[in-house]
Amino acid sequence: AQTVTQSQPEMSVQEAETVTLSCTYDTSESDYYLFWYKQPPSRQMILVIRQEAYKQQNATENRFSVNFQKAAKSFSLKISDSQLGDAAMYFCAYRRGQGAQKLVFGQGTRLTINP
């Protein structure tokens, strides 16, 4: 079974600084997708970034970027120029290739932004 591990239950960063959240996963599949979701206190699940395993190029979305190391099965999220609105729970998630595929989530990392 696929597993996703986030080893940092909590992280904090100064406003305007850069922070990296870690995620590792275990799979024997070659076709899969990886995601980072943000969950603010409102509980809403917000997609931050998505990475296709077949793409070597790391995905980026404005201040958010990933470091996808396929051989190491590592998928870290870098947040640049941290803002107060970035404070939230962040979940790493994995899904297998095509069709109806469940998301497998990590335990989550609570990110605090210090003004």
Partner 1 sequence: NAGVTQTPKFRVLKTGQSMTLLCAQDMNHEYMYWYRQDPGMGLRLIHYSVGEGTTAKGEVPDGYNVSRLKKQNFLLGLESAAPSQTSVYFCATQLTTRYTFGSGTRLTVV
Residue 75 near residue 92, CB atoms below 8 Å: yes
Residue 19 or residue 104: which is nearer to partner 1 going by CB? 104
Degrees, nearest 5: CA angle 8-10-12 = 115
Determine the number of helices (DSSP H) and then strands (DSSP E) in the chain.
0, 12
- Judged by CB under 8 A, the stretch of 15-23, 37-45, 55-63, 73-81 that binds partner 1 is 37-45
Helix (H, G, I), strand (E, B) or coil at 96: strand
Tell me the site size for partner 1, rule CB under 8 A.
Answer: 21
Among 18, 44, 60, 114, binds partner 1 (CB under 8 A): 44
Distance from C-alpha of 8 to C-alpha of 50, rounded to nearest angstrom: 20
Residue 95, interface with partner 1 (CB under 8 A)?
yes
Residue 66 near residue 76, CB atoms below 8 Å: yes
Residue 96, interface with partner 1 (CB under 8 A)?
no
Residue 16, interface with partner 1 (CB under 8 A)?
no
Residue 17 or residue 26: which is nearer to partner 1 going by CB? 26
The site map against partner 1 for 62-91 (x = CB under 8 A) is -----------------------------x
